[in-house]
Amino acid sequence: MVYDALFSPKGVAVFGSVKPGKLANVLIHRLIEGGMEKIYAVNPKGQGVADVPGKEVKGYPSVLDIEDVVDLAVIAAPAATVPAVLEDCGKKGIQAAAIITSGFSEAGNREGEEAILAVSRKYGIRFVGPNCAGVVSTQDHLLATLETRPPEGNIAIISQSGAVGGSLMAMAKAQGLGVSKFVSFGNGLDLNMLEFLGWLKDDPHTKVVACYMESVHDGRAFLKTLAELAKVKPVVIVKAGRSSAGSRAALSHTGSMAGADGVFDAAIRQCGAVRAMSLEEMFDICKGFAMLPPVQGKRLLVVTNSGGPGVMATDRAEEVGLTMPEPTDGMKESLYEFLPSFASVKNPLDITVEGTGEQYEESLETALQEYDAALALYIGTPYLKSVPIAEGIAAAARKSGKPIAAHIEVGSDIQEAREILARAGIPHYESGERFVSALSKMAAYEERRRAPLGTAPLPAGELKPLPAELLEPDAKQLLRENGVAVQQYAFVHSEAEAAAEAAKLGFPVVMKIVSPQILHKSDVGGVILNIGDEAGARSAFRKLAQIGAGKDFRGAILSKMLPPGRELIIGLIRDATFGPVVAFGLGGIYTEVFQDVVFRVAPIREETAREMMAGIKAHKLLEGVRGQGPVDFDRLAALLVHVSELPFRYRDLKEMDLNPVFAYEDTAVAVDARMLKG
Amino acid sequence: MVYDALFSPKGVAVFGSVKPGKLANVLIHRLIEGGMEKIYAVNPKGQGVADVPGKEVKGYPSVLDIEDVVDLAVIAAPAATVPAVLEDCGKKGIQAAAIITSGFSEAGNREGEEAILAVSRKYGIRFVGPNCAGVVSTQDHLLATLETRPPEGNIAIISQSGAVGGSLMAMAKAQGLGVSKFVSFGNGLDLNMLEFLGWLKDDPHTKVVACYMESVHDGRAFLKTLAELAKVKPVVIVKAGRSSAGSRAALSHTGSMAGADGVFDAAIRQCGAVRAMSLEEMFDICKGFAMLPPVQGKRLLVVTNSGGPGVMATDRAEEVGLTMPEPTDGMKESLYEFLPSFASVKNPLDITVEGTGEQYEESLETALQEYDAALALYIGTPYLKSVPIAEGIAAAARKSGKPIAAHIEVGSDIQEAREILARAGIPHYESGERFVSALSKMAAYEERRRAPLGTAPLPAGELKPLPAELLEPDAKQLLRENGVAVQQYAFVHSEAEAAAEAAKLGFPVVMKIVSPQILHKSDVGGVILNIGDEAGARSAFRKLAQIGAGKDFRGAILSKMLPPGRELIIGLIRDATFGPVVAFGLGGIYTEVFQDVVFRVAPIREETAREMMAGIKAHKLLEGVRGQGPVDFDRLAALLVHVSELPFRYRDLKEMDLNPVFAYEDTAVAVDARMLKG
């Protein structure tokens, strides 16, 4: 298998000049440092490297001269020679390559990449790069990179940027965080984010996956792979390029609100991945996932020896949606059995400056019977020992089996204490707050993992084209045929028909002009409200016919005046990356004021629709304020689900706004509809 | 002066047992470590400390036995003996003390504190503590604390919590951040946050003040002192206890929305102080203030050698309200004079992996002619040198005189490079994003310093009591007398009067019942809308009289039905800490849904009123959406200013809601008013 060759090669050939200071030379030193046994230098002069005591790396003018098995090529030869190098690799039967060499598409040299692709396809070679930072597999002693060597561990790091990859490796080392695999795929000409996410699912050494990304290529394939991986192990993603620079052509209302990042964010959460907003936060979260058992709920206990740090952790917990309930009365009694009376047996549980390691241990162990996770805070002075505290915390973690993290600071032996924690598998955080933030995302991951959503199955049936015209009656007719609840209406073509249909609908009614040449109906007086009787309906139709004279007048659309309802917007866009996306938010004038809209990749399930409704800032409005009851969530959810399926029935439906949708306690209907072809 | 004695004493007496391991012994060692010359041990046995080579600290049974000048007492003697110790200090003429000893009010011993206060007042001794972490003044070689010794510098740290104070000192040392003064005042029985904030204004060694606080005692005095200090030097505050636990009794609508933290946050910003949300952020901001020249605007340039880190900084800049305009065409030309053609001359300015120290220097120096501040990012590999880069950045900072910060990472000589930056006064940040966040707060501080707001002068005149009753007509009458624009109304007492006044106001009108026994008028049918003529007015009055029968019916209040306007709320509360506070926000149903309300400590100036209007999330609504023009900001501002003065005219006005206030393009009026006495 290609990934076996890539990550655990039996022999590695390094291509390129091995003069001191040259890339291939450095790479060979790194491979030796990592513990790789069989390394071969390949360069025109057949020079080897012999300056590491006890380790001679022999040189060959061609890889074909090597008699042993070589299954990974690490290429640092000049760009122009890479195709020929790959040709030899192919002949030698090498399956995998890491092309470190730069000077390809990133420098405008696309032909070079074409040449590489041609050779690699011919021989079935899979490769990372070119212009990449290399590959690391700590468990396989493979250190084929120029970047910092990380400790061995269970976090896989995939970075779309070499520089960020380098930062991440340096950060991992500085924090003592163990890495299983590292790949920075550079130009990503062959193996890419998608392939590695797919493969890591089954890598037994990887417990957590950390990704840094800047763009997504095949959006739907990415989401599918991501969702499958996230079901098995946590994936923490930092995505750069959140800011609004990359804006979309905004034809619809919904489109104008869908910043590129809003859709990306929704998409990866829908797949169960975890979003981090900085590399720092990514490591905080990965550290928790790497070291702790799964977080089964949101109830956090804080044990501390001083007030301030406990309060700051509590503040953060409230902000990120964790709960910090007080211990139950029974629990308080149990705690007072070994805590002094002046301890503050609340949450935070303050065992005071006199708190001992045993008290940390017993408090944590006892209280964790009621909580899902605990944070142990200890602030000493330079004259106190923190080792006994660390030992107490470690003992509690062993016994309780629940997630415990710690922040211990200031003490003559603080380093030793932190090492005790690390050995006991207890993550240490720079501050209590940072653990609290990470914990909330860990808890959300487990919650989502228990009830994954993803996208719904595609609706059955063939894709059809939209009708030739999409005037309001056409759009409403189409919606109705597809199960989308639309307010009752009549499309009328004469005064008499207007009067008769108005009477059937029930007064008062509203009448709107229908003409392909009149898009902004209100501006030309083409919307007449509050029509009270048949005579009014006749005169209204007459008026619209006058307005429409000479403008391809098709008639008028009539509907009943609705009582005030909660005004919402439901929309569709086609995202450049992820394709059809459904939107839900507050409608009316407040849409623009608050931009209170959430997105999901379509099609969606009913549960996703419910999550969307709960996810807008104005969700209280839906639940009911000032004595109102909740809106009809069932019908709204059905509306959303049906709308989300439309792009999979009509191939040329580009964007749509249902604005407003009126939601009542006993129903929900789209009142206006606008569709765009494309 | 007492602060001279406290921070730069000529002689220090340490009270308490000096046996090894005892507090006084440790304190004496710390004082020696800090470089204090004249130290005396005072304890019943008259024992000294002689285990530091070349430094003998003599012991005395009483401070009165010391012949030299002693002006600071550091007290670690048992709690029960502290009053007697202070008595001796008084007799010796000592003016200042740091009482480290615990076991006072924090342990229920209030009598002990009373005794201390009695003696200190008798002799005019000022002190920090008891139960405090001590005092540090690096420039004066005073290290009277158990906490970590920080490097010398220009940041003063005041902490209400000893443990947090200890953390802060450890963090300062770890980050190499220089400290001028440190005080943790423990129980704060005498000298407190207020006194130190006042004093630090004139401390020549302090450029920035960092405060950790948990509560405020004399809110108005605190704000006055804080505003005066913030005018002179930046004050960065972390306040713990943001979460909603400490809730208020919410009688009014405004009151229910004023979380304790919302008011605190508004109050300190009004004073020009900077709020940080974590200790980490506090240090990030303090580091910038301590090392950089003032930030004169929001235009940031990022120079980088790689894409990813630059994009992440850009994302953050947009989030925190900084701008990153592209270089002008002229500037681009200048940059291309020394940059290669493959450099990306945008913002971020990417000089690529081949970027040299000279290119960093020239790019920064050239571009800073157009920008207010710059961030230099450099990500190397373990085999590259970062020292030349650091030297380039340092040279640019020297020449440009504008704020430059850096993040440089990965390199064989990274430590050395960071030291070069530190020596050049260039702050190094853990990530580019963290500098960007800090920079936005630094820029906001300078902006506010140029146009300080604080509170307005109190209105002239004596405080009056409110009228005995505060029914709607009374409240509206009072508002009108005080310049608050209220919608025109008539208070009527008969059918005839109702008809006549309604005709005067102009139809349609709304009529509301007036009765002290009917608070929720709508619930009993006491509000009649859309009255179209005199007959309607008569019948409406009749109906209200029936509803009010037997319920102390006083009549009805009449006003014209208003056209739909932008619905706002203006309110007043008395905050437990800061006293009268004025609120402004979105009215109507969305008040509850979005809780979109801002606060300011009253009374306010017109500029503050404008800032409040711009500060709500729905400010776009005020500016006008969907073709509306802006509201009448002048009249709204006047309304806010007049409301903010009311609590200073009426001593028993506890809370008030003007809800709704209707704002139009050409006016703004309060439509309903509710006042609470208290």
Selecting from A163, A243, A309 the residue whose C-beta is nearest the C-beta of B306 gives A163
pLDDT at position A256 over 70: no
Q: Is residue A569 within a helix (H) or strand (E), and if so which, with residue range?
A: strand A566-575
Distance, in Å, from the CA atom of A270 to the CA atom of A253, rounded to the nearest integer, reads 23
CB A131 within 8 A of CB A97: no
Q: Give buried/exposed letters for B663-677 (b at 16+ CB in 10 A, else e).
A: bbeeebbbbbbbbbe
Could A306 and B243 be called an inter-chain contact, meaning their C-beta atoms sit closer than 8 Å? Answer: no
DSSP line for B402-448: S-EEEEEE--TTHHHHHHHHHHTT--B-SSHHHHHHHHHHHHHHHHH
Global pTM reads: 0.94
CA distance to partner chain A, nearest, from residue B410 (Å): 7
Q: What pLDDT score does B245 carry? A: 47
* Strand ranges of the sheet holding B12-15, from the earlier edge strand across to the other edge: B59-60, B39-42, B12-15, B72-75, B96-99, B126-128
Least confident of A161-165, A404-408, A665-669: A161-165
For an interface test with A, the pick among B105, B304, B315 (most A C-beta atoms closer than 10 Å) comes out as: B315
Residue of A nearest to B147 (CA): A381
pLDDT at position A257 over 70: no
Q: Which of A336, A402, A312, A307 is nearest to A364 (CA)?
A: A402
For an interface test with B, the pick among A22, A346, A381 (most B C-beta atoms closer than 10 Å) comes out as: A381
Q: Does B413 touch chain A (CB under 8 A)?
A: no
Could A382 and B161 be called an inter-chain contact, meaning their C-beta atoms sit closer than 8 Å? Answer: no
Mean pLDDT of chain A: 93
Selecting from B162, B311, B383 the residue whose C-beta is nearest the C-beta of A214 gives B311
Residue of B nearest to A322 (CA): B243
* Percentage of chain A lying above the pLDDT 90 cut: 84
Least confident of A209-213, A467-471, B405-409: A467-471
- Region of B398 please: left (phi>0), alpha (psi -120 to 50) or beta: alpha
Q: What are phi and psi of B178, to 5 degrees?
A: -80, 140
Q: Does B591 touch chain A (CB under 8 A)?
A: no
Q: Each residue of A524-561: pLDDT tens digit?
A: 999 999 999 999 999 999 999 999 999 999 999 999 99
Instruction: Output DSSP code: residue B506.
Output: -
Selecting from A162, A170, A309 the residue whose C-beta is nearest the C-beta of B163 gives A309
CB B214 within 8 A of CB B161: yes
Please state, in angstroms and as integers, the Cα–Cα distance from residue A612 to each residue in A616, A619, A633, B345, following that order: 7, 9, 11, 41
Could A317 and B243 be called an inter-chain contact, meaning their C-beta atoms sit closer than 8 Å? Answer: yes
Could A315 and B160 be called an inter-chain contact, meaning their C-beta atoms sit closer than 8 Å? Answer: no
Could A409 and B242 be called an inter-chain contact, meaning their C-beta atoms sit closer than 8 Å? Answer: no
pLDDT at position A253 over 70: no
A373 Cβ contact partners less than 8 Å away, ≥ 6 residues apart: A292, A295, A297, A299, A300, A301, A402, A403, A404, A405, A439, A443
State the CB neighbour count (10 A cutoff) for residue B566. Answer: 24
Beta strands in A26-99 (DSSP E): 39-42, 49-52, 55-57, 59-60, 72-75, 96-99
Distance, in Å, from the CA atom of A47 to the CA atom of A507, rounded to the nearest integer, reads 94
Selecting from A163, A170, A383 the residue whose C-beta is nearest the C-beta of B308 gives A163
Residue of A nearest to B160 (CA): A308
CB A69 within 8 A of CB A12: no
A353: confidence class by pLDDT, cuts 50, 70, 90: confident
pLDDT at position B476 over 90: yes
Q: Each residue of B328-358: pLDDT tens digit?
A: 999 999 999 999 988 889 999 999 888 999 9
Least confident of A104-113, A194-203, A294-303: A104-113
Could A409 and B170 be called an inter-chain contact, meaning their C-beta atoms sit closer than 8 Å? Answer: yes
Judged by CB atoms within 8 Å, which residues 4-43 of B form the interface with A? 26
Q: Does B212 touch chain A (CB under 8 A)?
A: yes
Could B431 and A279 be called an inter-chain contact, meaning their C-beta atoms sit closer than 8 Å? Answer: yes
State the CB neighbour count (10 A cutoff) for residue B245. Answer: 12
Judged by CB atoms within 8 Å, which residues 279-318 of B form the interface with A? 279-280, 305-309, 311-312, 314-315, 317-318
Could A307 and B163 be called an inter-chain contact, meaning their C-beta atoms sit closer than 8 Å? Answer: yes
Q: What is the mean pLDDT of residues B289-296?
A: 97
Could B146 and A382 be called an inter-chain contact, meaning their C-beta atoms sit closer than 8 Å? Answer: yes
Q: Which of B604, B609, B618 is nearest to B647 (CA)?
A: B604
Could A166 and B314 be called an inter-chain contact, meaning their C-beta atoms sit closer than 8 Å? Answer: no
- Chain A residues with CB under 8 Å of B134 CB are none
Distance, in Å, from the CA atom of A387 to the CA atom of B19, rounded to the nearest integer, reads 24
Could A243 and B431 be called an inter-chain contact, meaning their C-beta atoms sit closer than 8 Å? Answer: no
Could A308 and B212 be called an inter-chain contact, meaning their C-beta atoms sit closer than 8 Å? Answer: yes
Residue of B nearest to A108 (CA): B342
Q: What pLDDT score does B250 carry? A: 44
Q: Which ranges in A466-509 belong to alpha helices (H)?
A: 472-481, 495-505
Which two tokens mark B211?
């405060």
Could B314 and A278 be called an inter-chain contact, meaning their C-beta atoms sit closer than 8 Å? Answer: no
Distance, in Å, from the CA atom of A428 to the CA atom of B280, rounded to the nearest integer, reads 16
Nearest-5° Cα angle at B214, B208 to B217: 95
CB A489 within 8 A of CB A557: yes
Q: What pLDDT score does A250 carry? A: 44
For an interface test with A, the pick among B104, B185, B594 (most A C-beta atoms closer than 10 Å) comes out as: B594
Q: What pLDDT score does A104 carry? A: 94
- Coarse DSSP helix, strand, coil percentages of chain B, rounded to the nearest 5 percent: 40, 25, 35
- Chain A residues with CB under 8 Å of B351 CB are none
CB B641 within 8 A of CB B613: no
Distance, in Å, from the CA atom of A484 to the CA atom of A376, rounded to the nearest integer, reads 53
pLDDT at position B246 over 50: no
Distance, in Å, from the CA atom of B602 to the CA atom of B580, rounded to the nearest integer, reads 5
B539: confidence class by pLDDT, cuts 50, 70, 90: very high
Judged by CB atoms within 8 Å, which residues 73-132 of B form the interface with A? 107
Selecting from A166, A212, A620 the residue whose C-beta is nearest the C-beta of B410 gives A166
Distance, in Å, from the CA atom of A297 to the CA atom of A275, rounded to the nearest integer, reads 19
- Chain B residues with CB under 8 Å of A308 CB are 159-161, 163-164, 212, 214, 240
* Strand ranges of the sheet holding B489-492, from the earlier edge strand across to the other edge: B489-492, B555-560, B509-514, B527-531
Comparing B86 with A626, the larger pLDDT belongs to B86
Report the DSSP beta bridge partners of residue A60: A42
CA distance to partner chain A, nearest, from residue B619 (Å): 8
Q: Each residue of B248-284: pLDDT tens digit?
A: 444 556 666 666 688 999 999 999 999 999 999 999 9
Q: Does B148 touch chain A (CB under 8 A)?
A: yes
pLDDT at position A247 over 50: no
Mean pLDDT of chain B: 93
For an interface test with B, the pick among A312, A354, A592 (most B C-beta atoms closer than 10 Å) comes out as: A312
**Residue carrying structure tokens 């228990």:** A450
Could B161 and A342 be called an inter-chain contact, meaning their C-beta atoms sit closer than 8 Å? Answer: no
Q: How far is the first Cα of chain B from the last one, in angstroms, to the nearest whole number?
A: 43
Q: What pLDDT score does A248 carry? A: 40
Q: What pLDDT score does B255 carry? A: 62
Distance, in Å, from the CA atom of A240 to the CA atom of A163, rounded to the nearest integer, reads 13
Could A410 and B167 be called an inter-chain contact, meaning their C-beta atoms sit closer than 8 Å? Answer: yes
For an interface test with B, the pick among A131, A384, A593, A613 (most B C-beta atoms closer than 10 Å) comes out as: A593
- Chain A residues with CB under 8 Å of B438 CB are none
A106: confidence class by pLDDT, cuts 50, 70, 90: confident
Residue of A nearest to B316 (CA): A243
State the CB neighbour count (10 A cutoff) for residue A10. Answer: 15
Distance, in Å, from the CA atom of B435 to the CA atom of A565, rounded to the nearest integer, reads 47
Q: What is the mean pLDDT of residues B94-103?
A: 96
Selecting from A241, A409, A590 the residue whose C-beta is nearest the C-beta of B167 gives A409
Peptide bond into B309 cis (omega under 30): no
Q: Give buried/exposed letters for A508-517 (b at 16+ CB in 10 A, else e).
A: ebbbbbbbee
Q: What is the mean pLDDT of residues B218-229?
A: 95
Q: Does B631 touch chain A (CB under 8 A)?
A: no
Q: What is the mean pLDDT of residues B573-581?
A: 92
Distance, in Å, from the CA atom of B120 to the CA atom of B112, rounded to the nearest integer, reads 12
Q: Which of B529, A60, A560, B410 is nearest to B418 (CA)?
A: B410
